[in-house]
Structure 1
């Protein structure tokens, strides 16, 4: 079962196609790690696969890993419709980019993604102890919510331009602590540009975003019981990394800050320049896999 294909996942009386990629030559008897790669709002799983380029990272990795790109189920109207549709995730309690809260009958995407993991574990020989999630923008918010609610399923997350640590409170500038209470540590890596105008680095007063990136990162460090003071290192001309160590259960929390970076995926070959500067000084997909491999969970 190697190569790129579509797997049907049954959930709540319906069937949803999920794009998956299994490294060529993978031994079917060996369970591999799984990376959920969640698209941004107004996009879909096929488009996200092009942005992240995680297929190539999976193929080049020494052990290899399975990549899954499910698609959200809230349809969005778009001036530039994509061939596979324009969709948004049902992030609990958060409006979509259209500014509207999901309808009451919207698919429960926390439960859906849990079902995706279970289904692929049966069909694609997944190591359930090494399941990870990344996501771009709205997909990063969805990956964050999954980690908050189902840390038993997710060993680590690596949102790009979308890390959250629970919903914004009524004033939007602070976090509602009751909305992210994981029962065990989850390692967190994130990438964010300082000139992101969609999800601003320093936050805004919009319920779709709210508090800033540093607040999200420091809150995850608290949730993961990190006791050491964060250390920041300049890794290239425009990129620095802030690391929190000495966390419970071997977890870690890291933030790559891209100076003057836009609402973009570092290292992508897809033209996202309409959303700001795309740095090529780092490759988010390669770095996140190295982080995932180093943090297999408990």
Structure 2
């Protein structure tokens, strides 16, 4: 064998050895590399990691916060109880404002900051009519507010000592309609829902919740904005039809039991409670006779100077307290 042949064989050997080593290393590297993480679904439950951390906001004071969601800058306000203890797990109440309103307006209207909860007031994006709105309305922005809600809950659970079994959502008008969207899409993460004068537009899409869902709904019979009997031109359902749909989804008995908690009052409040619902879920409706497009309150609020005969917020809070997700 010539010197050239021996040299050529040696070179070929080195090349072959290097190629094999590269193949082995490449395979090994691929085996060791973690697969790309799938984005977390908004409705997927997450363990709280914020317990024991000093809060980044002052307890007892409402603070404006910002977060990025879906490539968009979003904002919200948060109010911790004045005696907030980072070693104690707290419920969360998300309270969504109506069309054209703000986080500050919704805090004043719903008043959840007065309760022993982490009260959060998200802000909707500017919609097609130049006003703030939530997903599911014909005038809302092209944004995923369900994902925003999931991202917001992730942030809250990383910052504060959140009881992930006791997360709740309430809202007024378009915000109430969006709470209906959340009931359809996030029942694994949110334990109970409270739409008030809710606008349940067909643009919300199909409703196929993964489990029975607990809902308490308020609506005035003289609501001219979102009529109690519906608005076919806008695709808004009559409240009895909307409630019937939820009774069917929750597996409740079709006919509710009706009571009047204040029979001595001339303007009645009718309470409808469905029974026999699956997995201990609850469906309750407060039909406020004569009330307009308002968050019911026995004192004037920034919705109306005319009081109603019932305060919605404490009733909602009691309903929320009676519901928690199972582990």
- TM-score normalised to structure 1 length: 0.82
Residue from 310, 313, 317 that aligns with 1:282:
310
Q: Which of residues 131, 134, 146 is equivalent to 1:89?
A: 134
Equivalent in the alignment of 1:296: 324
8 Å CA contact 1:163, 1:190 repeated in 2: no
Conserved? CA contact 1:33–1:131, under 8 Å: yes
**Kept in 2: contact 1:228–1:246 (CA 8 A):** no
Deviations 1:185-233 (A, max 9, x none): 11000110000000000111133x5211111112111111113731000
Provide, for residues 159-188 of structure 1, a one-character-per-residue CA deviation record: whole Å limited to 9, x for no partner: 100064x737xxxxxxx9x70010101100
**Structure 2 partner of 1:240:** 270
Larger Rg: 2
CA distance in structure 1 between the aligned counterparts of 2:240 and 2:307, rounded to whole angstroms: 21
Alignment-derived partner of residue 139 in structure 1: 175
Deviations 1:220-260 (A, max 9, x none): 11111113731000112321100012211111100001111
> In the alignment, what sits opposite 1:167?
202
1:126 equivalenced with 2:162 (yes/no): yes
Q: How does 1:70-85 map to 2 (within 5 A)?
A: 70-75=122-127
1:192-271 to 2 correspondence within 5 Å?
Answer: 192-207=219-234, 209-227=235-253, 229-236=255-262, 237=265, 238-267=268-297, 269-271=300-302
Tell me if the contact between 1:131 and 1:153 (Cα under 8 Å) persists in the aligned partners: yes
1:228–1:219 CA distance, 2 compared to 1 (3 A): closer
- Does the CA-based 8 Å contact 1:154-1:186 persist in structure 2? no
In 1, Cα distance between equivalents of 2:301 and 2:248: 35
Answer yes or no: is 1:68 the counterpart of 2:120.
yes
Aligned residue for 1:22?
80
SS at match of 2:314: helix
Q: Are 1:262 and 1:278, in contact at CA under 8 Å, matched by a contact in 2?
A: no
Deviation at 1:273, TM superposition (A): 3.1
Instruction: Classify 1:26/1:216 alpha carbon distance in 2 versus 1 (closer, same or farther; 3 Å).
Output: same
Question: 1:68, 1:247 → 2: CA distance?
Answer: 29
Q: Report the number of matched residues.
A: 263
Change (3 A) 1:234 1:296: same
Residue 113, structure 1, aligned to residue 171, structure 2? no
Aligned mates of 1:220, 1:22 — CA distance in 2 = 33
Q: Which residue in 2 is equivalent to 1:82?
A: none
SS of aligned partner of 1:107? coil
- For the aligned residues, what is the CA RMSD? 2.1
Higher helix share: 2
After superposing the two structures, state which structure 1 stretch, 230-239 or 129-138, moved more: 230-239
Once structures 1 and 2 are overlaid, which stretch shifts more, 225-234 or 130-139? Answer: 225-234
For residues 75 and 199 of structure 1, what CA distance do their matches in structure 2 show? 19
Query: What is the alpha-carbon distance in structure 1 between the residues aligned to residue 260 and residue 172 of structure 2?
Result: 23
Gap change, CA 1:161 and 1:111, over 3 Å in 2: same
Give, in whole Å, the separation in 1 of the partners of 2:165 and 2:269: 31
Q: Deviations over 1:69-121 (max 9, x none)?
A: 0100124767xxxxxxx411122xx412xxxxx45xx2211111111111111
TM-score normalised over the length of structure 2 = 0.75
